[in-house]
Amino acid sequence: MKFLNFIHESRQQIGILSADETKVLPVANLLSHERYCDMNRFIEQVTAAEMAILLQAQGDSHGKAFKLEEVTFLPPILRPKHDIICVGVNYASHRAETTGTLSSNLATQERPVYFSKRTTRIIGHEEEIQGFFELDADLDYEVELAVIIGKEGRNIVREEVEDYIFGYSIFNDISSRRLQREHLQWFKGKSLDTYSVLGPVIVHKSAFAYPPEVEIECRVNGEVRQHSNTNLLIHNIATIISDFSQGITLEPGDIIATGTPSGVGMGFKPPRFLKKGDVVECEIAGIGILRNRIG
């Protein structure tokens, strides 16, 4: 199932895509109550029986449903409970292209590299990314597989990680590279408003074999800049979630961005950073395309 957060006739709702992905079925109608108006609450409280109802309804859109072109996509999660958890230099190809650019220590780093992105409001499919070029002209893109946590856990063992996952989405980790370098820590350069982009949907984990091994790609104005497969992650999903959860509680709705492959703007010689008006498309097989224009 593909879950989305959307607006129809000025009303914000959550829903699922029909099996042919031409219609949106509001969750409130399918479950006959208004309890779930927020994706975080839905992820935390939805029952197995309710999920079964939604799965059955996915193939039958004869009830109340909206045509896909009638709705406006919002990010699946508007505001996370905590900062977004990110894993840095988690593809060997990206590690190679950034060696000496960000930190020479990254070339020999053996444990996962974690950082976080502050966001007051995630942006979604077809929303505009504000460039903040007056602060930093070195604006960059990073396509990543995002893991959405489904239940609370701490000290999670590797063998049980899948039980704690709700689903997967596409994340674009927008970065101002000069700010990132100047502050040494990456927090400032990756946390300007609109720099966290998620969507267009969350795909339930049941749609993928575990762990997902899927093609991942980023295009700028139609030109392929990044292309790889999540089977090339240095630290896989089980390692990331198990390691990060040692001594730290993960909660339903937490977002973990698993890293980006080579081909980011700063990796080119000379660098190829984003400009106002550029269109960035992030695509992951089985999830969809996340498209945004730079403003």
Task: Quickly count: other Cβ atoms within 10 Å of residue 285's Cβ.
Answer: 14
Listed by start position, the domains of the chain span 2-74, 84-294
Encoded tokens for 274: 């984003």
- Does residue 199 come out as left (phi exceeding 0), alpha (psi in the -120 to 50 range) or beta? left
- The pLDDT tens digits along the chain (295 residues) read 999 999 999 999 999 999 999 999 999 989 988 788 899 999 999 999 999 999 998 877 666 899 999 999 999 999 999 999 999 999 988 888 877 666 556 667 778 999 999 999 999 999 999 999 999 999 999 999 999 999 999 999 999 999 999 999 999 999 999 998 888 788 999 999 999 999 999 999 999 999 999 999 999 999 999 999 999 999 999 999 999 999 999 999 999 999 999 999 999 999 999 999 999 999 999 999 999 999 9
Domain 84-294: give its CATH architecture: Alpha-Beta Complex (3.90)
Q: Say what the pTM is.
A: 0.96
Separation of alpha carbons 217 and 31, rounded Å: 35
Q: Which residues contact 200 (CB under 8 A, 6 or more apart)?
A: 4, 73, 76, 124, 125, 170, 288, 289, 290
